[in-house]
Amino acid sequence: MARKQIPAQEHEHGVMVETSKPEVTRPPLFQVVLLNDDFTPMDFVVEVLQVFFALNREKATQVMLHVHTRGKGVCGVYTREVAESKVTQVNEFSRLHQHPLLCSMEKA
Ligand code: TYC
């Protein structure tokens, strides 16, 4: 990671030292998005939102209904690796249960 150079300073020993201020940046964030379809049961979607996104039943039901009526909705916002892992886990879980439910990610 780049460090911003600030002017060299001469300390008591007569030695030139350079100090630099650490630059800390936030990692890019990604929204994990659930897509609507006509076949996945509502109860299954609510379960997915509770299990993989730690939503309580009420919040999971709200998100499911948002996706059902608007076509897609955000389940959570994570760093790239966590978002990729959620997408893979949800899509594998849905396929295992033979539902067409699809999850994807978008830059936040
Ligand atoms: N539209 C589905 C139904 O009527 C329910 C559903 C909601 C499916 C959200 C997917 O991401 C989804 N059974």
Whether the per-residue pLDDT at 15 is higher than 90: the answer is no
Q: How far apart are CA 2 and CA 105, in angstroms?
A: 29
What percentage of the chain exceeds 70 in pLDDT?
83
Is residue 75 within 8 Å of 49, Cβ to Cβ? yes
For residues 20-39, average pLDDT: 94
Q: How far is the CA of 20 from the centre of ligand 1 (A)?
A: 53
Q: Is the CB of 36 under 6 A from ligand 1?
A: yes
Q: How far apart are CA 91 and CA 103, in angstroms?
A: 6
pLDDT at 7: 42
Q: How far is the CA of 54 from the centre of ligand 1 (A)?
A: 19
> How many degrees, rounded to 5, is the angle at CA 91 between CA 89 and CA 93?
65
Whether the per-residue pLDDT at 32 is higher than 80: the answer is yes
Q: How far is the CA of 52 from the centre of ligand 1 (A)?
A: 17
- Per-residue pLDDT of 54-99, as tens digits, reads 999 999 999 999 999 999 999 999 999 999 999 999 999 999 999 9
Q: How far is the CA of 99 from the centre of ligand 1 (A)?
A: 10
Q: Is the CB of 46 under 6 A from ligand 1?
A: no
> How many degrees, rounded to 5, is the angle at CA 93 between CA 44 and CA 63?
40
> Tokens standing for 33?
């998005």
Residues pairing with 21 in the sheet: 4
Amino acid at 89: Q
Residue nearest to atom 4 of ligand 1 (CA): 38
**Which residues fall within 8 angstroms of residue 41, CB to CB, at 6 or more apart?**
99
For residues 20-36, average pLDDT: 93
Q: State the pLDDT confidence band at 21, using cuts at 50, 70 and 90.
A: confident
Binning the chain into helix, strand and coil, the percentages to the nearest 5 are 40, 25, 35
Q: Is the CB of 68 under 6 A from ligand 1?
A: yes
